[in-house]
Amino acid sequence: MAVNRGAALSALDVMRDAPVIPVIVLDDVAHAVPLARALVAGGIRMLEVTLRTPEALDCIRAIASDVPDAVPGAGTVRNAADAHAAIKAGARFAVSPGYTRSVGETCREAGLPLLPGVATGSEVMAALDGGYKELKFFPAVQAGGLAMLKAFAGPFHDVRFCPTGGIHAGNAPEFLALPNVACVGGSWIAPPELVRAGRWDEITRLASEAAALRRG
């Protein structure tokens, strides 16, 4: 189903669209559109293109222009300048490895849904203080994994998480079974070796399997 580009999008919309948000690293703009089409064909539309390469913004721009069924987002947003650049490139949402007031305020003022990264109770409280209740738990496995998310459920009962970092096809179902987990983030759906080889059918298969995962 095509995404209405004029429709307002919330962070919860991003998290609920599919069980998995792919974490994508692209260093060749030529791969952006076929990759996005392959993921959409498998049922994954929310695409986090990380700002880890010089080509990332051009990749977001290409997806936004040529793949209307995809919803491109910018990952690794670390400051206000990153957020502004992502918006200019056509990003519909942002994901950050941590939370700062500057990033939070910039995204809110621009109407850009943000999933800020947190790893501790204090960081969750800082994000809540900034008005954010949909958060990226990062790095998920290294920061305590399932046990930490279960511990968060008590004091932060109104927060929904997207665990990212160390998540793969084998452990994703355990995370998705938790009631405070709305989705997970992972790179296994679009591994660099398959992207470089142009194995789009294989990526569509991985996306289809991810889209079929059940949430708690």
Q: What per-residue confidence (pLDDT) applies to 4?
A: 52
Distance between CA 57 and CA 87 in Å, rounded? 10
Distance between CA 137 and CA 145 in Å, rounded? 9
* Rg, the chain, Cα only: 16
Q: Is 48 labeled as catalytic in the residue annotation? A: yes
Q: What is the mean pLDDT of residues 190-199?
A: 97
Question: DSSP character for 91?
Answer: -
Q: Is 109 labeled as catalytic in the residue annotation? A: no
Query: Model confidence over 14-55: pLDDT tens digits?
Result: 999 999 999 999 999 999 999 999 999 999 999 999 999 999
Tell me yes or no: is domain 11-208 CATH 3.20.20.70.
yes
Closest of 2, 59, 49, 38 to residue 206, by C-alpha? 38
Query: Model confidence over 109-138: pLDDT tens digits?
Result: 999 999 999 999 999 999 999 999 999 999
Query: Model confidence over 140-182: pLDDT tens digits?
Result: 999 999 999 999 999 999 999 999 999 999 999 999 999 999 9
Q: Per-residue pLDDT for 6 more than 90?
A: no
Q: What per-residue confidence (pLDDT) applies to 1?
A: 42
Distance between CA 149 and CA 22 in Å, rounded? 20
Question: DSSP character for 49?
Answer: E
Pick the catalytic residue: 109, 136, 150, 202?
A: 136
